[in-house]
Amino acid sequence: MNSSFYLYGAIVLAFFCLSVSLFYIFKLIANVKLSKFRPNMDPLPPLLKRVWNGVMFFDFYFGPLLSENRLEKRQKMLNTAGLEFFMTPNETFALQFFSLSVALFSSLLCGLSAFGIDYRTLILVFLLGLTGWFYPLIWILDQKKRRNSEISRYFPAFVDIVTLCCECGLTLNTAILNFCERGPVCVLRYEIERVVRDMKTGAGRADALERFARRTGNMDITRFVGIVLQCDKLGVPLGPTLRKFAEQKRTERFQRAEKLAMEAPMKMIAPLIMFIFPITFIIIAFPIVTTILMNFK
């Protein structure tokens, strides 16, 4: 018993010393890189800022090994998630390596403390290692899903405002400016403001709209941009075409709401079976069981 206690204590002490050493190594190597690459980016969350030196350590050593194809795919993912000014593609890979190392270190420490040298320790290390590696990607995909959901929510209002302005005789550029001034504060308005800034800096309307579609990666916006560009190319009036498109999007929004309402009872079945029904049965059965036991006495 005493020998096992001393062995586990020595293992915990060794891991603690290793973690402290690695922390100071990360801090020494990554300080210059941190001040060099973050000036024009959005501020980091407090928790991520505390461990950013460790992330930069992995970026320093593994960043040059990444291929251009991988970085380009990751950049597209960041653009569609609205995180292009929050983190670079190299930093996302470095964050994955850092998360993997932390998960492996924690799982190995917990596994050795709980199970010792056993197959359960290997299973714990494997599962937590996978979680640590894929967690940053899951977070990015979750941000992308939330962003697309918010864009789809406010997109019909944007189409209605643009359609109304075009049918009143205004140009598409003026209609976009009206949405920037009077539209609801949301991600879509921020992206439309970027389109306006692109046009003011010299980009053509077609180029600015195509960047807008690629940047968001939303199917509704891609269809809207395609309709606008096709009408400009063929000389078709934009107002009636957008009116039909707006009616279609409004119908799709109501259908989506009906679908979610019909799915609600199915989603409630599992919580009912797991939490509500057992408590109800216990409340109903308790007096019956108590009465039977008293009668048998």
Q: What are 52-108's pLDDT values in tens digits?
A: 877 887 887 788 888 889 999 998 899 888 888 888 888 899 999 989 888 888 888
| Encoded amino acid at 184, one letter | P
Mean pLDDT for 154-158 is 86
Written as six digits, the tokens of 85 are: 């000014």
Contact yes or no for 30/53 (Cβ under 8 A): yes
Written as six digits, the tokens of 262 are: 């019909």
Residue 37's pLDDT is 53
Contact yes or no for 183/150 (Cβ under 8 A): no
* pLDDT band (50, 70, 90) for residue 137: very high
pLDDT digits (tens, 9 = 90+) for 162-211: 888 888 888 888 888 888 888 788 888 888 888 888 888 888 888 888 88
Residue 28's pLDDT is 55
Per-residue buried b or exposed e for 237-254, using 16+ beta carbons within 10 Å of the residue's own CB: ebbebbbebbeebeeeee
pTM exceeds cut of 0.85? no
Domain ranges of the chain: 149-252
